[in-house]
């Protein structure tokens, strides 16, 4: 029942009130029905909405992509142990082969092709830093592939905020997300 759900919504008592809502980076359709009405109502009534990052800004997406890359001239094969690199390469070949069977009829109806989807997710993988390859591999599952094309909760809310002409912003810069992950050493990854 909606009234019994933990809302992940905190109220900052002021006039007008402010709210702090904890989100998760998953397709919004996986969690939307479990978000309580008080959270949805707070979003609807708000005039200004801040997100972790501005996922609607092309610079943000470009900077996120750039921060994942190894230094110029380096490839993943240069930094990973030989056996891990070849296991990874074989696994990605398997995923590419399976991709079309993992896609939904709805995805195909929207013109998505398995090769395009694979390249959108895993393209340029040999130039990425190990931590980003690990995150990419974790998202290359049948369940995740079936939900591709559905925005994650943060992006969905940002798109809704824009559609409703709310003022939006971000509380973090891309660098604040990238530097901690890029600072992990190989054994941590």
User: How far is residue 96's CA from residue 114's CA, in Å, rounded to a whole number?
Assistant: 8
Which pair of tokens denotes residue 34? 């479990």
Q: How many CA atoms are closer than 13 Å to the CA of 85, on its beta-carbon side?
A: 13
User: How far is residue 32's CA from residue 154's CA, in Å, rounded to a whole number?
Assistant: 11
CA angle 69, 74, 75 (to 5 degrees): 80
Task: Say if 148 falls within a structural domain.
Answer: yes
Q: What is the mean pLDDT of each run of 10 residues along the chain (189 residues)?
A: 66 87 86 88 92 90 93 94 96 96 91 90 94 93 90 93 94 91 85
State the residue range of the domain holding 124.
2-183
Task: Say if 13 falls within a structural domain.
Answer: yes
Q: Which one, of 127, 131, 128, lies nearest residue 181 by Cα?
A: 131
Task: Say if 91 falls within a structural domain.
Answer: yes
Task: Say if 120 falls within a structural domain.
Answer: yes
Global pTM value: 0.79
Provide φ and ψ at 152, rounded to 5°: -65, 160
Task: Say if 83 falls within a structural domain.
Answer: yes
Phi-psi region of 124 (alpha: psi -120 to 50; beta: other; left: phi over 0): left
Task: Say if 189 falls within a structural domain.
Answer: no
Task: Say if 17 falls within a structural domain.
Answer: yes
pLDDT reported for residue 4? 59
Q: How many domains does the chain have?
A: 1
Task: Say if 188 falls within a structural domain.
Answer: no
pLDDT reported for residue 66? 93
């Amino acid at each position: 029942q909606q009234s019994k759900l933990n809302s992940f919504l905190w109220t900052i008592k002021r006039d007008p009130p402010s709210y702090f809502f904890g989100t998760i980076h998953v397709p919004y359709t996986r969690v939307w029905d479990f978000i309580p009405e008080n959270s949805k109502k707070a979003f609807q009534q708000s005039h200004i909405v801040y997100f972790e990052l501005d996922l609607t800004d092309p610079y943000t997406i470009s900077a996120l992509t750039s921060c994942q890359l190894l230094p110029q001239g380096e490839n993943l094969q240069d930094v990973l142990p030989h056996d891990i690199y070849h296991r990874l390469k074989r696994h990605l070949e398997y995923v590419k082969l399976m991709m079309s069977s993992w896609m939904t009829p709805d995805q195909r109806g929207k013109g998505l092709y398995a090769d395009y989807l694979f390249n959108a997710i895993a393209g340029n993988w040999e130039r990425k830093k190990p931590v980003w390859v690990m995150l990419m591999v974790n998202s290359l599952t049948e369940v995740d592939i079936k939900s591709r094309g559905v925005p994650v909760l943060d992006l969905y809310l940002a798109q809704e905020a824009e559609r409703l002409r709310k003022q939006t912003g971000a509380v973090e810069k891309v660098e604040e997300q990238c530097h901690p992950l890029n600072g992990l050493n190989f054994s941590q990854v």
